[in-house]
Structure formats: C-alpha cells, structure tokens
Amino acid sequence: MQIKFSEAVLKAVSVHYVGNKCNGQEVRTTDTPIALTIDESKVIKEAFLGKFNLESDKYSFSHGAALSFNEVYTFCLESLADETVFQKNAINIAKHLYENSTHPKIKPGELYVCYFGNCLVNGAFVDAMGIIKTENKSNFLDITDENSLSVKLRIGADVSKFDKACLVLPTNAENGFDVLIYDSNGNRGEEAAFWREGFLGVTPQATGFYHTNQFLGLAKEFITAQLPQEYDIEKTGQIDLLNKSMEYFKANESFDKEQFAENVFEDKRIIKAFKSFEDSYTEMNEIELPDNFDISTQAVKKQVRVFKSVLKLDKNFHVYIHGDKSLIEKGFDERTGKNFYKIYFDEEE
C-alpha cells in the first residue's frame, strides 16, 4: 500500500471528553465540529497524520457474527459515504468508546474524530477518518505580545504527542477497510488490547509486514528469555543468534521456517526447542504464522531498533557485537575476582 498525506486536508474535527465509565466518570459530547483557522487545521492535520506511514500496523474491522455489527466500522462507513452524517457518527463513536471504557486502568481524555480529504492511497485521492485520543496533559507557556509580553502557565495536550489513534482508509471496504493503528505505549498490554479489540474491534491483516514483525518478535523472545532457561548460553551467544536472525531477514526476500531454523540455530536440539516454543507462543498470543511468507523490509527496519546487539558490562562499558562471536572471549581473573572479555581485531578505526 502506498500512502501520501502531503496534499491531505482536515475538513472537520469533532472533539469530545470520554471518561472511565467503571470509575463513575462521564462522557461529554459536542453538538458541532470545532471551528479552526486554516493554520490551525494544517498544524493538527500534520500532527495527526504524521504518526501513520508504511511502518504502521495494518488491521481491518471485524465481528464474530457479521461485519455490519461492528459499530465503529458502521459509523465510518456511513460517514465516508455521506459526509453530512459525520458529526452524528462522531458522537456515536465517542459514546461507543465510553461504553467500552470499563477497565479501571483506562484513562479519561479527549477524543478527536477527524474527517480528512485528499489522502493519496495507491495513486487515488480518497477521504479518510481519524480517531485520536489524548490522555496525558503537560504544562506550557502561553505568551502574548500586546504592547508588552504577557506569560501565562496553562495545561493542555501536545497535538504531536497523542496516546492512541487509528486511521480508517476507505480501501478494502467490503473486508472491513484498511485501518492503521498507533499507540504511544506500543501494541501490547491491557490498554492497547482495549483500544484494538474492545473499542475498535479490529484484527491484524495477514500481510508480509505483520508476519515479519510477529516472527521476529517470536525469535527475540525465544533467544533472550526461553533459551537461557534450557541451555547454558552466554550473553555473547544470545547476541550472536539475534544478529543471525536479523541477517536472515535482511538477506532474503521470502521466509522459509525450516531454512531459518537451520541457518540461525544449527543445533538440532535448539531447533526442536524453538519449534516447541513457537507452538506455545502462537497459542498464548492467539496468532497464526505460516511456514512461508514474503519478508517486509519496512517491518525489518522497525525491528532492528529493538534487536539489541549490545553487551552491557556493569555501568562502565557497552560492547556492540555485530559479527563473529569467536572474536570475543570470556574469562575470569582470580587476582581481581572479576570477569573479563578479550576482544580480537585487525584494525582500529
């Protein structure tokens, strides 16, 4: 999917306050979209849409009985077909969020329902809807310059630092639209699950991005958490396996599970342990991963950030290991009672 927002415009935005129903808080809705200047619309548009790109996880609306029973899907479908019902459905979306805000950890906040025009998706200009929630406030200085400078301390939400959001694109409408998700805390945890499953009712699309992202996460969990429990493997060995995993995904356009396991783990016992871990991991996380899929370069770039090849030694040294682990040797100095690493190299840069 190709997405560009350079020519997009914010045509309408409806703001509501949604409290936590479980904690006795209220929902307050507004009757009309808020009035914005051209400059204000541009700032909000760029802040909101700036969070969504090719690295965003892609989902679709779903429902166990029938897609038409998914409330947010229905509200967005009606609004994208007839812009005049946008405000009515923005209120419905806020009320639906309130009815699903029943977990004590869900924070109250402002809900922004946006209607965007001129979003370029796969070469065609389309309208789209954004649903954005801000939960955290910060202090800021409001400075006015009328004859003399005046400064007031105010509390508000930073438009570039919202907490949860989704962007509903009208493509793939018959299968639940293409929905991009953003969560400042990542996509794990109870609050993230509430946003995706309880409120939006979306499920991940079985794309190369999704499969690549999920499998790299599985491999990292096995290498860093499970493997040390079953085998006596040093930190350098774990880092070496992390590097091999990432290199496999960088070097190949398509993924083959058997080939991956043999190239990365080599040892038949570890391969068997990995396959057993995969079965329990996918069952626990309720995901399905095929044996073969197209590797997404965008997902690989995203995962590179969390595949840490860093050996942390107390608070004094960080050793970055990017290649042959045989060039680093661990030992123990009886004289000082401390561990040490010996590193072999040809040239110093």
- In this predicted model, what pLDDT tens digit does every residue of 79-133 receive, in sequence order? 999 999 999 999 999 999 999 998 888 899 999 999 999 999 988 999 999 999 9
Handedness of CA 37, 39, 40, 41 (dihedral sign): positive
> Does 323 score more than 70 pLDDT?
no
What span, in angstroms and rounded, lies between the C-alpha atoms of 56 and 53? 5
> Does 237 score more than 90 pLDDT?
no
What span, in angstroms and rounded, lies between the C-alpha atoms of 168 and 6? 17
Of 65, 58, 62, give the one whose Cα is nearest residue 74: 62
- Answer yes or no: are the C-beta atoms of 126 and 171 closer than 8 Å: yes
Burial label, 318 (beta-carbon count in 10 A; 0-12, 13-18, 19+): exposed
What span, in angstroms and rounded, lies between the C-alpha atoms of 237 and 230? 14
What span, in angstroms and rounded, lies between the C-alpha atoms of 159 and 106? 20
Tell me the average pLDDT of the chain. 87
> Which stretch, 22-31, 227-236, 296-305, 321-330, has highest mean pLDDT?
22-31
Query: Rounded mean pLDDT of 47-59?
Result: 79
- Sequence ranges of the domains in the chain: 3-204, 209-343
Residues 6+ positions from 163 with CB-CB distance below 8 Å: 107, 109, 133, 134, 135, 136, 183, 184, 185
- Phi–psi pair at 3, nearest 5 degrees: -130, 130
> Does 11 score more than 90 pLDDT?
yes
What span, in angstroms and rounded, lies between the C-alpha atoms of 4 and 88? 28
- The percent of residues in the chain predicted with pLDDT above 70, rounded, is 90
Largest CA distance in the chain: 80
Can you read off the two tokens belonging to residue 78? 């009606």
Can you read off the two tokens belonging to residue 26? 């209220």
Which pLDDT does position 233 carry in this prediction?
Answer: 84
- Say which residue the tokens 């356009």 belong to: 253
Q: What is the dihedral of CA 295, 297, 299, 301, to 10 degrees?
A: 140
Task: Please measure the distance between the N-terminal and C-terminal CA atoms of the chain and give it in whole angstroms.
Answer: 41
What span, in angstroms and rounded, lies between the C-alpha atoms of 285 and 296? 21
> Does 310 score more than 70 pLDDT?
no
For the chain, where are the alpha helices, taking DSSP H only? Answer: 38-49, 71-81, 86-100, 190-193, 208-221, 227-230, 235-251, 257-264, 268-284, 297-304
325-337 pLDDT, tens digit each: 677 777 777 888 8
> Does 184 score more than 70 pLDDT?
yes
Confidence band (pLDDT; 50, 70, 90) for 185? confident
- Answer yes or no: are the C-beta atoms of 191 and 105 closer than 8 Å: yes
Which pLDDT does position 236 carry in this prediction?
Answer: 82
Which pLDDT does position 256 carry in this prediction?
Answer: 96
- Say which residue the tokens 């812009």 belong to: 83
What span, in angstroms and rounded, lies between the C-alpha atoms of 21 and 101? 6
What span, in angstroms and rounded, lies between the C-alpha atoms of 181 and 204? 10
pTM (two decimals):
0.75
- Phi–psi pair at 305, nearest 5 degrees: -65, -25
